[in-house]
Chain A
Amino acid sequence: MTEVTILCPTGHLGFTPLEKDSFLAGCELKPDFIIADSGSCDIGPYPLGADGQASPAAWQKHDLEVMLLAARRLGVPMIIGSASDTGTDRGVAQYVALMQEIAAEHGLAPFRLAAIESELKPAAVREMLRAGTPIHGLDGRPEADDALLARTDRIVAVMGGEPIAAALAGGADVVIAGRASDCALFAAPLLNAGMSPATAYYAGKLMECASFCCEPFMGKESIYGQIREDDIRVTAMHPGQRCTPASLASHAMYERRDPFREYVVSGHVDMSECRYEQVAEKTTRATGPRFVPSATPMVKLEGAGKVGERRLAVVGMRDPYMIQNIDKAIAWARARLAERFGKPEEAGWQVFYHLYGRDGVMGPMDPTPPAQPHEIGVVVETLCQDGKRAEEICALAARNLFYARLPEVKGTAGAAALMSDEVLTGKPGYEWTLNHVMPVKDPMELFRTRFLTVDGTARRAA
């Protein structure tokens, strides 16, 4: 029976540097593929909306260099998805350039690279919508309309395994993919090897976060997968870690609403009958996934749009009377802001008071905020389209706590401590506008693949 082996060193390439020792130990086992995902929505909407990155370029290069050198030395393909945190065209281009740079620095022999782009222009998506393609909201969101797309600055489509499998079949030694389902990176070579989508995507789901599926908890350590049809064996490569039925099963439910279903473009994996058994000290075997194809392929769209310029200020309170009456002080401050700048919803600005020490982390969900904290740290956050105005609103929002009028304040020289009388410039505020799916005729149709030859010896010779 066909067996494919995969080494995965990290669950989010570049976010923090991968650990080299367990990766090199995994390379000793001569894996058939080296695969890692580099993206996440967890970093918030700013990197996608502003087309930035959440990881330092030096760490991204570190991880790519470790992986590329090993892959070329072993002569096996390497697959990277969701390039540079978001998988935009910028991210793909950045990683392609890093591959060329690393190849040149090490004088690597020529290899074939496939770059798969997945960014969609908002104007193009608006055209699709106007032409009658529905864009369905996920997680209880309403259907997308023209107004929602008008608020969206950048969109990526999330690919399944198909474009990556095609790139490998086309002879790619290295695949740099735009936004992709994490599990699709692993599924692609398994589908090419003739395995069922059930085995292929389920193996990907189990392996995508590297050592997170092992115990005790460690990040950025490598895991090794041996995959046959309906027989997935995952082994921890770190000497202090094991892959156990409990650790593997609990990973299957990590970061997801439903522990039994994993959705990709072509359908979903049903994991409700999966079984886990320890087959060696550090290895657990998983079996039993089913695949339910969708009637129409559905591609997920992620989109982010700018809300406004953002400013922050930090204010502290120690006076027990002020702390006891903090809500009244904030209400007073808000009323004064509205007098000066107009009502927030009408005049296009927002203010948030985050009360650290009371309920800054959980807000109204906190069941037990202390009635009388010793001190409170207030982070004042303001937004407005116009940066200067956001700054002015923020300064007044903070100083209004300083001047708060409460009947029995004894500290009449200032009702709050300004950490410094300074307004900090935050990154612009963005929001996730699209968490939607769109039907397509062909799982490949929104994704663009180009091949190039990377020759690390060329520049040296020249």
Chain B
Amino acid sequence: MERRNMLTLRDLASTIRSKNAGVDHITFDIIFKERVNFEKVRDAKVLSPAIVAELLRIPESRVTDFVVFEPANAIKFTIRRERPSGSPGERDVFGSQQYAPLFDVEVP
């Protein structure tokens, strides 16, 4: 029952988004309005290259960048796309709807 009450990124972050970073990558930004929430998530270490790779079911080698960006109270990571944006068979040409799984990441 305790787990059910645990805060998630959806509760703590003010912006959770994904977007193309060039044609071969999608970048994810988790931005906090309150510094205290940013620090809570940063220090809880609930996000890391290994964790986001597991969450998105991709090998960790496809997580190309992971940055804690202090000036914007933000955590940012970038993944390599399966194929370049807009190629035949691609699903999200702007890369703008890939962030939903981050909502439910729990923060102790």
Complex contact B91–A41 (CB within 8 A):
no
Complex contact A44–B27 (CB within 8 A):
no
Annotate A349-386 by CB proximity to B: 1 below 8 A, 0 otherwise.
Answer: 01010100000111111111000000000000101000
Q: Which of A404-462 contact B (CB under 8 A)?
A: 429-432, 435
Complex contact B25–A139 (CB within 8 A):
yes
A252-B72 contact, Cβ under 8 Å, with A46-B86, A381-B88, A432-B85: yes
What is the interface residue range for chain B against chain A?
A: 35 or more
Partner of A431, one of B33, B67, B88, B101: B88
Q: Within the complex, what minimum Cβ distance (angstroms) separates A434 from chain B? A: 9
Complex contact A139–B80 (CB within 8 A):
yes
Q: Which of B67-91 contact A (CB under 8 A)?
A: 67, 69, 71-74, 76, 78, 80, 82-89, 91
Partner of A246, one of B22, B27, B73, B84: B73
Among the listed stretches B1-9, B39-47, B56-64, which one makes contact with chain A, having 4 or more residues with CB under 8 Å of it? B56-64
Closest to B35 in A: A246
Most buried by A among B23, B24, B82, B98: B23
Residues of B within 8 A of A (CB): 15, 19-25, 27, 29, 31, 33, 55-58, 64-65, 67, 69, 71-74, 76, 78, 80, 82-89, 91-94, 97-98, 100-101
Q: Within the complex, what minimum Cβ distance (angstroms) separates B75 from chain A? A: 10
A250-B56 contact, Cβ under 8 Å, with A44-B85, A435-B22: no
A307-B56 contact, Cβ under 8 Å, with A140-B24, A250-B31: no
* Tally of A interface residues using CB under 8 Å: 49
Complex contact A367–B65 (CB within 8 A):
no
Judged by a CB distance under 8 angstroms, whether A28 is at the interface is no
A307-B87 contact, Cβ under 8 Å, with A139-B22, A250-B31, A257-B65: yes
Complex contact B91–A364 (CB within 8 A):
no
In the complex, A201 Cα to B40 Cα: how many Å? 34
Residues of A within 8 A of B (CB): 41-46, 138-141, 245-246, 249-250, 252-260, 274-276, 302, 307-308, 310, 350, 352, 354, 360-368, 381, 383, 429-432, 435
In the complex, A138 Cα to B24 Cα: how many Å? 9
In the complex, A432 Cα to B83 Cα: how many Å? 9
